[in-house]
Chain A
Amino acid sequence: QVQLQESGPGLVKPSQTLSLTCTVSGGSISSGGYYWSWIRQHPGKGLEWIGYIYYSGSTYYNPSLKSRVTISVDTSKNQFSLKLSSVTAADTAVYYCATRTNSGAFDIWGQGTMVTVSS
């Protein structure tokens, strides 16, 4: 059973780049059928899809964040990563990594990591 674990700084300064990593265990990130995804949740609010990457490297981003988002995969470490540039307080949220299967559903989620943007 695939498991996901997010890691990265819990505090980022405004205008800097938020960087998070999701470590995949119990399966290979190179196996087909999974779209490795990032989703965030602002405090007390709903869920917002950020984007995903397929193991081949193809990506798909939320248009509202596309200009600031990069998702990449490191098959040697069985990890995938999120970079969000030029952050503001509005990017303060819990960030989840998740797998999207061919059904279109996010069936496995990490526990989430809180990132606060503040000077």
Chain B
Amino acid sequence: SYELTQPLSVSVALGQTARITCGGNNIGSKNVHWYQQKPGQAPVLVIYRDSNRPSGIPERFSGSNSGNTATLTISRAQAGDEADYYCQVWDSSGGVFGGGTKLTVL
């Protein structure tokens, strides 16, 4: 089955840029979606199809996908961005999520 690999944690200084990676075999050939989940809340879609932002998601959130790595970039990080982030793709076996990355804003 297809596997997605994310770093367990990423730290970023307030106002700086955070990059969260999602690794998978030839992931660049797949559509990657990203979710933000704050404690006690349901996940929220922040990027779909690699680089598209749903309505209401700040422009500070962007995404890219190439080769074996997809990346979620959060510019000008704010305290409110502190959360768990999950990448997700579809594979022949169905929906696959990465293990999640805890973003800490220092």
Interface residue count on the B side (C-beta < 8 Å) = 25
List, in ascending order, chain B residues with CB within 8 A of A63's CB: 1, 93-94
CB neighbours (8 Å) of A112 from chain B are 42
Seen from chain A, the residues whose Cβ lies within 8 Å of a Cβ on chain B are 37, 39, 46-49, 51, 60-63, 96, 100, 103-107, 109-112
What 1/0 flags go to B72-106 for Cβ under 8 Å of A? 00000000000000101110011111111000000
Across chains A and B, the number of contacting residue pairs, with CB separation under 8 Å, is 61
Binding site for A on B (CB under 8 A): 1, 31, 33, 35, 41-45, 48-49, 52, 54, 86, 88-90, 93-100
Contact of B97 with A46 in the complex, beta carbons under 8 Å: yes
Q: Is the CB of A60 within 8 A of B94?
A: yes
Contacts of B96 in A (CB 8 A): 49
Chain A residues with CB under 8 A of B97: 46-49
